[in-house]
Amino acid sequence: MRAVVQRVSEAKVLVQHESVGAIGRGLLVFLGIGKRDTARDVEWMVDKIVNLRIFETQECKMDESLLDVRGSLLVVSQFTLYGDCRKGRRPSFSEAMDAGAARSFFELFVERAKQKVTNVQTGVFQAMMHVGLTNDGPVTILLDSSSRP
């Protein structure tokens, strides 16, 4: 499982010019699901994201998590995080999980996140989406569950 995590002051997702999810202060997560991912990867990723200490304290030190600041979470599925560009000029997505199984993992991720975070919004799985955000910092973190201890 791969995630691009961005600390935002606001973010929104539009599908066919309609807002389907929007948050204020919090984290925007682009989530890719690999064909070897398991429920353990979901649990690890949710826990890692909500506890990342990437929000600033009053002393301007990054030492607070999404839970500490009571921020919101916007989760957007993005299979292209598994794009392999090592050969040729067209990415291969052979390591991405097929859409049917990936939808279940995405839904599990959102369900687990909702157990920890008060406001969890999402995009629409497999839809063409337009994502708007104001990156705060900017702070952008890359996570890959295959590198978990």
pLDDT exceeds cutoff 90 at 149:
no
Query: Is there a contact between 122 and 76 (Cβ–Cβ < 8 Å)?
Result: yes
DSSP the chain: -EEEEEEEEEEEEEETTEEEEEESSEEEEEEE-BTT--HHHHHHHHHHHHH---EE-TTS-EEE-HHHHT-EEEEEE-GGGG-B-SSSSS-B-TTBPPHHHHHHHHHHHHHHHHTT-S-EEE--TTS--EEEEEEEEEEEEEEEGGG--
CA gap 25, 9 in Å, rounded: 4
Model pLDDT for residues 21-61, shown as the tens digit of each residue = 999 999 999 999 999 999 999 999 999 999 999 999 989 89
Query: Is there a contact between 123 and 75 (Cβ–Cβ < 8 Å)?
Result: yes
CATH class of 2-147: alpha beta
pLDDT exceeds cutoff 90 at 148:
no
Query: Is there a contact between 113 and 120 (Cβ–Cβ < 8 Å)?
Result: yes
The pLDDT, as a whole number, for residue 92 is 95
pTM of the model: 0.95
Q: Which residues contact 47 (CB under 8 A, 6 or more apart)?
A: none
Residues with a catalytic annotation lie at 78-80
Domain map (residue ranges) of the chain? 2-147
The pLDDT, as a whole number, for residue 106 is 98
What is the residue-averaged pLDDT of the chain? 97
